[in-house]
Amino acid sequence: MNDANTVLIVDDDPAHRTMLRTLLTGWGHTVSEADDGAGAIAMVHEQAFDLILMDIRMIKVSGLEALGEIKTFNPAIPVIIMTAYSSVETAVEAMKNGAYDYLTKPLDFDELRLTMERAMEHSHLREENRLLRESLGTHFDTHNIIGASPAMIRLMETVAQVATSEATVLITGESGTGKEMIAGAIHFNSLRKDGPFIKINCAAITETLLESELFGHEKGAFTGAYRRKEGRFRQAHGGTLFLDEVSEMSLAMQVKLLRVLQEREITRVGGEEVVKVDVRIIAATNKDLMAEIRAGRFRDDLYYRLNVVAIAMPPLRERREDIPLLAQHFLEQFSEKNRKQIKGFTPQAMDRLLRYEWPGNVRELMNAVERAVVLAWAEYLSEQEFPLIIRETGPADGWPEGDSGTGEMPLGEVEKTTILRTLELSNGNKSEAARRLGITRRTLHKKLKAYGVMPS
């Protein structure tokens, strides 16, 4: 959570604005000012604010009107209303219209500071969850978990079963197999789904920071800790904490984590107070934890705490049936994103995708399809759009050598390969391919439909 924030002060009284600016700048915030509601609306359209502090009674556009506009434009910005005692009713009205809270003038500075802190904490968490849910809506929702292979069906059954339990889950698997996606699916299908889903990548943070990230710190716990900060455990209270790359934690941190998992309570760095946390843990790793244990890098007691339910993500090369489904899913997704009208893959391109080893698993497939969609301009993605995969999968099978070489293929196959080859050489331009083949565009369409290259 950021300690310094961008705050917009809206007040038509210049003296009051100056006072607030001095105060808030002193607290470390960056401050902008507007002298009426219209100005505030304009500024909100131009710049992102973490918080708005607004007088409700202004002469031109009133605070109440401005509030409505601001909330329509960005419902996530917390707005704190300032009001005189005489207009508390208007303030209540403002609360109904989405204001976070109201303060009466003259302001009590401690109250102001606390209200601002609470508002921002609240909105950061809400924003984080909203973004997450949005991304889950498009990629991570169970409906968007693609897979029909026996391995994926078994996996989804396990996910459905464990989701409703409170069990700690350890997800293992190679990079790009969908560990994070599954963690999200478990949370959003659990009883905690309306609580926060908080994620932390243990590999991305240095050891000293990791402790304060996880457990929070007290004001003055170390240089730069000028106010108390809650950690991820506390943020995940009532929800799920996803510990990604858990094998990268130092042995010392592993001891601390183990204690928290046993006691379900934390102590902030530099503090004494014991804080209860109600958090479900999902951990993930792409390492072999048993090997890490043997090498003395991972504690076996922590392993058994985490590995209550184990979910092993199968690599993509062991469930090749899923490749066409995933490829088509990403094709649709990226066609839409890039405003292209790409319909599918040529059989040769799909054959390449099926034969490739996919060391980077689903993520690599997704990236390959995205790149192909961006580059392509024909209706069907052909081999040319997957140069890296062509290199890895070797020379094409079943292609005639040169334009007329036919080897010993049945005539129908010769025709099909020639037509598809010509289409590729024409960069997918059907009129051009028909011209080169000496047939009409209609005949070409009929053939392509028969090969299943075009929808009938």
If the CB atoms of residues 39 and 178 are measured against ligand ATP, the closer one turns out to be 178
CA dihedral 417, 419, 420, 422 (to 10 degrees): 110
CB-CB contact of 420 with 348 (8 Å): yes
If the CB atoms of residues 50 and 180 are measured against ligand ATP, the closer one turns out to be 180
If the CB atoms of residues 55 and 180 are measured against Mg ion, the closer one turns out to be 180
Q: Which stretch binds Mg ion (CB under 5 A): 14-22, 178-186, 294-302, 324-332?
A: 178-186
**Per-residue mark of binding to ligand ATP, 340-369 (x: CB under 6 A):** ----------------------xx--x---
The whole-angstrom separation of Cα 321 and Cα 323 is 6
Measured from each CB, the residue nearest to Mg ion is 180
If the CB atoms of residues 146 and 454 are measured against Mg ion, the closer one turns out to be 146
Shortest gap between Cβ of 286 and Mg ion (angstroms)?
8
The whole-angstrom separation of Cα 320 and Cα 316 is 6
If the CB atoms of residues 83 and 285 are measured against Mg ion, the closer one turns out to be 285
If the CB atoms of residues 156 and 261 are measured against ligand ATP, the closer one turns out to be 156
Q: Which of residues 67-126 bind Mg ion (CB under 5 A)?
A: none
Q: Which of 36, 55, 180, 211 binds Mg ion (CB under 5 A)?
A: 180
Partner that binds at residue 181, options Mg ion, ligand ATP, none, CB closer than 5 to 8 Å by kind: ligand ATP
If the CB atoms of residues 2 and 135 are measured against ligand ATP, the closer one turns out to be 135
CB-CB contact of 250 with 207 (8 Å): yes
Shortest gap between Cβ of 304 and ligand ATP (angstroms)?
22
Q: Which of residues 102-141 bind ligand ATP (CB under 6 A)?
A: 139-140
Tell the residue number behind the tokens 């490749």, with chain if given.
323
H helix count then E strand count, the chain? 19, 16
If the CB atoms of residues 184 and 344 are measured against ligand ATP, the closer one turns out to be 184
Q: How many residues bind Mg ion (CB under 5 A)?
A: 1
CB-CB contact of 416 with 310 (8 Å): no
Q: What residues have CB less than 8 Å from 85, skipping those under 6 apart? A: 104, 105
**Per-residue mark of binding to ligand ATP, 141-180 (x: CB under 6 A):** ---xxxx-------------------------x-xxxxxx
The whole-angstrom separation of Cα 107 and Cα 82 is 8
The whole-angstrom separation of Cα 21 and Cα 377 is 54
Shortest gap between Cβ of 390 and ligand ATP (angstroms)?
22
Q: Which of residues 23-42 bind ligand ATP (CB under 6 A)?
A: none
Partner that binds at residue 315, options Mg ion, ligand ATP, none, CB closer than 5 to 8 Å by kind: none
Pairing of strands 79-84, 51-55: parallel
How many other C-beta atoms can be found within 10 angstroms of the C-beta atom of residue 152?
Answer: 19
If the CB atoms of residues 245 and 351 are measured against Mg ion, the closer one turns out to be 245
Measured from each CB, the residue nearest to ligand ATP is 178
Of 270, 130, 268, the closest CA to residue 194 belongs to 130
Partner that binds at residue 176, options Mg ion, ligand ATP, none, CB closer than 5 to 8 Å by kind: ligand ATP
Measured over the CA atoms of residue 93, residue 99, residue 100 and residue 104, the dihedral's sign is negative
CB-CB contact of 51 with 78 (8 Å): yes
Shortest gap between Cβ of 312 and Mg ion (angstroms)?
15
Partner that binds at residue 366, options ligand ATP, Mg ion, none, CB closer than 5 to 8 Å by kind: ligand ATP
Three-state secondary structure readout of 6-55: EEEEECCCHHHHHHHHHHHHHCCCEEEEECCHHHHHHHHHHCCCCEEEEE
The whole-angstrom separation of Cα 180 and Cα 192 is 17
Partner that binds at residue 145, options Mg ion, ligand ATP, none, CB closer than 5 to 8 Å by kind: ligand ATP
Residue numbers at the binding site for ligand ATP (CB under 6 A): 139-140, 144-147, 173, 175-181, 286, 326, 362-363, 366
Residue numbers at the binding site for Mg ion (CB under 5 A): 180
